[in-house]
Amino acid sequence: MISKAKKVLSSDLVKVFSYTGLSTLIKLITSYITIKVVANIIGPAGVALVGQLQNFTAIFTTIGAGGINNGVVKYVSEYKNDETRLKKYLSNGFKLTIYFSGITGLFLIFLATYLSRWILFEEKYYYLFILFGLSLILLSLNNFFLSVLNGFKEFKKFVTINIFTNIISLLFTIILVWLYNLTGALIALVTYQGFILIITLFYLRNKKWFSKELWTSWDKNIVKKYFSYTLMAFVTALTVPVSQLLIRGYIIKEYSIVEAGFWEGINKISAMYLMFITTSFSVYYLPKLSEINDNETLKKEVFKTYKIITPLIFVTLLLIYLLKDFVINILFTKEFYPMKDLFFWQLLGDFFKVSSWLLAFIMVAKSMTKLFISTEIIFSVLLVGLSYYLININGLIGATQSYCINYFVYFLTMIFIFRYKFYKTT
C-alpha cells in the first residue's frame, strides 16, 4: 500500500497537480471573491446576464484563435526536438491566429448593435461587443503563446502567467463592478484578458523559439493539419456555449431571469471545482496523450489517470453536496437558496462529465476529427432537447437532470468507442 502511494505521488500527473495547485488555489479565491461581489451587487438577474455574455465570449474567443490552440499543444509537444518542423508549425499557427482574430474582431465591431440585442436583450450594450472586438487579437495571441508553453511542458511559466491572469481579472472585475454595477461586470468580462499579453511577452522575451522569425511562408500541409483542430474547436465553440444560451433563454422565457440566475449559479459552482481537474488535463494530459504512439501505452496512461482522478472528484463532489448550504452562503447570498435543489443532479452529472473527458481527450490528442465533431453535435443537441422536455415536466430542476442524463450517456458512448480501440489487438 505504501509503495503504491509513493508511486502515485511520484507520477507526472501528481507533479503537475503540485505545479498547478497554487494557480488553481488563487483562481478559486479570485473566482470566489468575484462571484461574491457580483452576486451581492447585481443579484440573480445580473448573474444570468453575465452568464449570457460569458457564453458568447467563449464562442468568439475560440473562433478568434482559429481553434488551433490544442493543435499547437500537440505539434509543439510532438516536434519540440525537430527545429525545422517546429519553426514551420509555430509560424503557420501564429499567422492563422492573426488572420482569424483580425477578421473575427471586425465582425464583432460591425455587428455590435445586433449582437447586443440578441445576446443581452437590449441594444444599449453595443459598446461591449466593440470593446471585445478590439481586444480579441491580443487575447488570441496570448492564448497562442500559452499553448506553445504548454506544448514545451514549461509548467512553471504557464502557471505563473495564469496566476497573474487571475489577479488582474479579480482587480478589473471588483473595481468596475464597484463603480458601475452590472455594466462594470460586463465591461470587465470583455476587456481584462487582452492586457495579459504584456505579461506573457515579458516571460517569453528570452525564449529561443520566440526570438526566431514567426512570419515565414505558408505550408499547406501544416495548415491542413491545423484546420482539423479548427473544425473540432469550432464545433465545441458552437455547441457547448450555444446550448447553454438556448437553455438559459428557455428558462428566462418559461419562468424568469431570476430562475435563470439560479441555474447559472450552480454552473458557476461546477466551474470552480472542475477547474482544478481541467487545468491539469490541459497542462499534462493532452501533451502526454499526444506523445504516445502505441496503443498499450495509451491504455496504461488513461487507466493510471482514472485511478488518480476518479477518487479525487468523487470525494470533492460528495463534500460539496453535504456542505451545499455552506457553499451557497459562502459564494452567493440568501437570494440563491432555491438553488439547493439543483445540487444532486448537477454534481452527479459532473462526475460523469469528468469520467467521459478522460476518454474524450484522446479524440483531440489523436486528431480524431470526424468522431469528435459527431459526438459533440449529437450530445449538445441531446442536452438541449432533454432540457426543454424535462424543464417542462419538472421545472428548473429538469435542467440539471438533463445535464446528468446527457453526460451519463456520453460516458457510456466513450467507453463503447474506446473499448474497441484499446482491445482490438487482443
Dist. CA 285–CA 283, nearest whole Å: 6
Dist. CA 198–CA 73, nearest whole Å: 21
What pLDDT is recorded for position 6?
A: 46
Q: Tens of pLDDT along the chain (426 residues)?
A: 445 444 444 455 555 555 555 666 666 666 666 666 667 777 777 777 777 787 788 888 888 888 888 888 888 887 888 878 888 888 898 899 999 999 999 999 999 999 998 888 788 889 999 999 999 999 899 889 888 887 887 777 777 787 787 787 778 778 887 888 878 878 887 887 777 788 888 877 777 776 666 667 788 888 888 888 888 778 877 787 888 889 988 998 888 888 888 898 898 888 877 876 776 666 667 777 777 777 788 888 888 888 888 888 898 899 989 988 888 888 787 788 888 899 999 999 999 999 998 888 888 777 787 888 899 899 999 999 999 999 999 999 999 999 999 999 999 999 988 877 666 544
The residue type of 112 is A
C-alpha cell at 272: 470552480
C-alpha cell at 73: 499543444
The residue type of 286 is L
The DSSP call for residue 339 is G
Contact status, residue 409 vs residue 374, Cβ threshold 8 Å: no
Provide the CA 261 distance to its chain's centre, in angstroms. Answer: 20
**What is the CB neighbour count within 10 angstroms for residue 227?**
17
What pLDDT is recorded for position 20?
A: 57
Q: Which residues contact 426 (CB under 8 A, 6 or more apart)?
A: none
Dist. CA 285–CA 365, nearest whole Å: 9
C-alpha cell at 70: 490544442
Q: Give the helix ranges, DSSP H, for 215-342.
A: 220-237, 240-254, 257-280, 286-291, 295-322, 324-331
Q: For residue 71, give Cα distances in angstroms to 77, 146, 241, 271, 339.
A: 10, 12, 21, 24, 38
What pLDDT is recorded for position 425?
A: 47
Task: Work out the burial of residue 186: count CB atoms within 10 Å of its CB; fewer than 13 is exposed, 13-18 middle, 19 or more buried.
Answer: buried
Dist. CA 306–CA 356, nearest whole Å: 10
Give the SS3 label for residue 366.
coil
Dist. CA 411–CA 353, nearest whole Å: 7
What pLDDT is recorded for position 2?
A: 46
Q: For the packed helices 343-365 and 220-237, what is the interaxial angle rounded to 10 degrees?
A: 170
Provide the CA 360 distance to its chain's centre, in angstroms. Answer: 14
Phi, psi of 424 (to 5 degrees): -70, -20
Dist. CA 355–CA 405, nearest whole Å: 14
The DSSP call for residue 285 is I
Contact status, residue 320 vs residue 269, Cβ threshold 8 Å: yes
- Report the length, in residues, of the chain: 426
Give the SS3 label for residue 340.
helix
Full-prediction pTM beyond 0.85?
no
Residue entry with cell 500500500: 1
Of 364, 312, 317, give the one whose Cα is nearest residue 14: 312
Q: Which residues contact 281 (CB under 8 A, 6 or more apart)?
A: 357, 361
Give the SS3 label for residue 239.
coil
C-alpha cell at 204: 517569453
- Output b/e per residue, 330-354; b: 16+ Cβ within 10 A: ebbeebbeebeebbbbbbbbbbbbb
**What is the CB neighbour count within 10 angstroms for residue 260?**
27
